[in-house]
């Protein structure tokens, strides 16, 4: 072909690949060396520190138009992002409820990004691994192999997946076609008054509304009261509602209470309700030999949400929804447009993974979970869960032994709710005192804990979901709480 008649396509055939491959190799080695040091020395650094103004200012910089050497870009990231973390990989981070990540998982995320595969589906190895990790999740919980599941961003999304299937199965009409307005008897969902806030968001997003989610009273240990649940269901039936789904919580976010899952499974079967378990905290206790009894019954659920980025310490994000009835799951989400038709051979000849959730493009979340499970084996993850639960009870006992400290809720697993309570302090003054203890622990970089309110009582809250925590760290927390409490109560 005469070269002079070819169309002029582009000026220069630019790509995003490095101009200097050996330079990027050297820098990458540096990044890895720094990352190893970062993790190895995490215990020596403060848990958290607030950012100086010049660091904050970096994040107001405008959109860059021209190039910068990658070594400079990395230096800036080191000095800003890497130097001012949230702190949840630190051994004394116990706020809210998170995992503490792990190096192998981070390598998994890196390799997944290098391959760059889209897990919307298709006939390739990453898609098979995604399904394998889902199968391993089923196995860990004692779910049947015929169940289906999907990896999602986290527990909130996993709960939405389960509750969406529940709504569609129990609606009595084709909700996908006709919408919630066509449902004849309004659906009712049930959960305890300790439910995580994501269920409210789910009810709102599903078009059922917050009021369709009845919060049932809890017993002295903050577990759902089955008699109260039964009464609410009967009352709703009599009033013309359609009881549709009960949500059991395996590990509440406030106190770690585990609902009676066997009792709930039996009740749901009797009443013809969908049984969903929010197991974001506690589903994986099923792999912990000393504590698995606490979540017995989870294997009877119609759907479960679990969170590998919590007790498997996978780097964020990865959650998992499991659904017993695989066809109900697929029928809730599958849409096959003309541009996604399957073929009998080739890349499009496998199951589309996007048919089990709301996303189309999906990240390769499985690799970080798969690599850590392979490296350590599931038995070790079970022992780590037992260790954290043991540490929760150890802290519970330390607090009980201190006259100036008070437990505010029963310790069930690895969440401890307590407060510093000197004579003469109550109500708002007591809350202000404990809030100040929490803030100083954070600001001094000693430990990160959070707070909550249980049955109207404000308290400090420690969630030991951390594979790096040692007993000495919990001793230190108690010592520091006492020291700060006494200082603040005396006006300093």
Ligand X SMILES: *Cc1c(COP(=O)(O)O)cnc(C)c1O
**Contacting ligand X (CB under 6 A), which of 155, 162, 191, 315?**
155
**Contacting ligand X (CB under 6 A), which of 90, 138, 188, 196?**
196
Q: Which residue has the closest beta carbon to ligand X?
A: 155
User: What separation in angstroms does the CA of 33 have from each of 38, 40, 358?
Assistant: 9, 11, 38
User: Where in 360-379 is the site for ligand X (CB under 6 A)?
Assistant: none
Q: Is 55 in contact with 84 (CB distance < 8 Å)?
A: yes
- What token pair was written down for 82? 């890497």
For residue 446, which phi and psi values (nearest 5 degrees)? -75, -50
Burial of 242-278, coded b for 16+ CB within 10 Å and e otherwise, reads bbbbbbbbbbbbbbbbbbbbeebbebbeebebbbbbb
User: What separation in angstroms does the CA of 429 have from each of 174, 345, 468?
Assistant: 54, 70, 34
**Contacting ligand X (CB under 6 A), which of 99, 149, 154, 392?**
154
Q: Where are the alpha helices (DSSP H) in 52-124?
A: 53-58, 70-79, 103-115
Minimal distance, residue 318 CB to ligand X, in Å: 9
**Contacting ligand X (CB under 6 A), which of 280, 283, 306, 389?**
280
281 lies in the binding site for ligand X (CB under 6 A):
yes
253 lies in the binding site for ligand X (CB under 6 A):
yes
**Contacting ligand X (CB under 6 A), which of 108, 243, 319, 392?**
319
| CB closer to ligand X, 126 vs 253 | 253
Intra-chain end-to-end CA distance of the chain, in Å: 86
For residue 316, which phi and psi values (nearest 5 degrees)? -60, 145
259 lies in the binding site for ligand X (CB under 6 A):
no
What are the start-end ranges of the E strands in 180-227?
187-192, 213-216
Stretch that binds ligand X, among 47-55, 274-282, 296-304, 330-338 (CB under 6 A): 274-282
307 lies in the binding site for ligand X (CB under 6 A):
yes
Alpha carbon 162 to chain centroid, angstroms: 15
Minimal distance, residue 278 CB to ligand X, in Å: 5
Minimal distance, residue 115 CB to ligand X, in Å: 25
| CB closer to ligand X, 175 vs 198 | 198
The closest alpha carbon to 477, from 436, 434, 448, belongs to 448
Stretch that binds ligand X, among 20-28, 46-54, 154-162, 330-338 (CB under 6 A): 154-162
Q: Where are the alpha helices (DSSP H) in 171-325?
A: 175-178, 198-205, 226-238, 261-271, 308-311
Name the pairing type of β-strands 303-306 and 274-279: parallel
Minimal distance, residue 213 CB to ligand X, in Å: 14
Minimal distance, residue 26 CB to ligand X, in Å: 37
**Count of residues in contact with ligand X, rule CB under 6 A:** 13
Q: What is the CA radius of gyration of the chain?
A: 25
**Contacting ligand X (CB under 6 A), which of 236, 278, 299, 355?**
278
294 lies in the binding site for ligand X (CB under 6 A):
no
The H or E element that residue 377 is part of is none
| CB closer to ligand X, 49 vs 153 | 153
d(CA 142, CA 261): 14
Minimal distance, residue 156 CB to ligand X, in Å: 3
User: Where in 85-124 is the site for ligand X (CB under 6 A)?
Assistant: 97
| CB closer to ligand X, 288 vs 488 | 288
Minimal distance, residue 309 CB to ligand X, in Å: 6
User: Where in 410-469 is the site for ligand X (CB under 6 A)?
Assistant: none
Residues in contact with ligand X by the rule CB under 6 A:
97, 154-156, 196, 198, 249, 253, 278, 280-281, 307, 319
């Amino acid at each position: 072909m005469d070269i002079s008649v070819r169309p002029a396509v582009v000026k220069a055939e630019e790509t995003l690949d490095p101009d200097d491959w050996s330079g990027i190799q050297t820098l990458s080695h540096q990044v890895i060396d720094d990352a190893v040091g970062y993790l190895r020395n995490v215990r020596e650094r403060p848990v958290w520190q607030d950012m100086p103004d010049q660091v904050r200012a970096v994040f107001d910089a405008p959109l860059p138009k021209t190039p910068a050497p990658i070594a400079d870009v990395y230096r800036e990231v080191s000095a800003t992002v890497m130097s001012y973390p949230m702190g949840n990989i630190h051994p004394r981070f116990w706020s809210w409820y998170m995992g503490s990540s792990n190096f192998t998982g981070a390598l998994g995320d890196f390799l997944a990004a290098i391959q760059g595969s889209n897990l919307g589906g298709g006939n390739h190895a990453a898609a098979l691994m995604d399904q394998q990790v889902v199968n391993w999740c089923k196995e860990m919980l004692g779910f049947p192999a015929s169940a289906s599941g999907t990896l999602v961003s986290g527990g909130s999304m996993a709960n939405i997946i389960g509750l969406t299937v529940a709504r569609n199965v129990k609606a009595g009409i084709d909700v996908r076609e006709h919408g919630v307005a066509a449902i004849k008897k309004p659906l009712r969902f049930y959960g305890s008054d300790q439910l995580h806030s994501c269920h409210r968001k789910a009810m709102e997003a599903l078009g059922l509304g917050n009021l369709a989610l009845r919060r049932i009273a809890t017993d002295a240990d903050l577990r759902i009261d089955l008699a109260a649940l039964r009464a609410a269901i009967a009352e709703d039936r009599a009033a013309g509602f359609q009881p549709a789904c009960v949500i059991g919580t395996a590990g509440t976010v406030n106190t770690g209470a585990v609902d009676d899952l066997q009792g709930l499974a039996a009740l749901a079967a009797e009443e013809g309700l969908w049984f969903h378990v929010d197991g974001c905290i506690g589903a994986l206790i099923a792999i912990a030999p000393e504590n698995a009894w606490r979540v017995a019954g989870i294997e009877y659920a119609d759907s479960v949400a679990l969170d590998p980025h919590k007790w498997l310490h996978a780097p964020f994000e990865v959650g998992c929804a499991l659904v017993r009835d695989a066809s109900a799951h697929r029928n809730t989400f599958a849409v096959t447009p003309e541009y996604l038709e399957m073929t009998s051979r080739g890349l499009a000849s496998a199951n589309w993974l996007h048919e089990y959730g709301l996303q189309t493009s999906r990240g390769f979340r499985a690799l970080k979970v798969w690599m850590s499970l392979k490296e350590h084996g599931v038995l070790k993850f079970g022992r780590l869960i037992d260790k954290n639960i043991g540490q929760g009870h150890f802290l519970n006992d330390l607090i009980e032994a201190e006259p100036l400290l008070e437990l505010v809720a029963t310790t069930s697993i690895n969440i401890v709710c307590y407060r510093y309570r000197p004579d003469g302090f109550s109500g708002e003054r007591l809350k202000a005192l404990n809030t100040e203890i929490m803030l100083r622990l954070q600001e001094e970089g000693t430990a990160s804990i959070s707070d909550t309110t249980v049955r109207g009582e404000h308290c400090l809250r420690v969630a030991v979901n951390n594979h790096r925590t040692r007993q000495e760290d919990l001793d230190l927390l108690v010592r520091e709480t006492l020291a700060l409490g006494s200082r603040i109560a005396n006006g300093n």
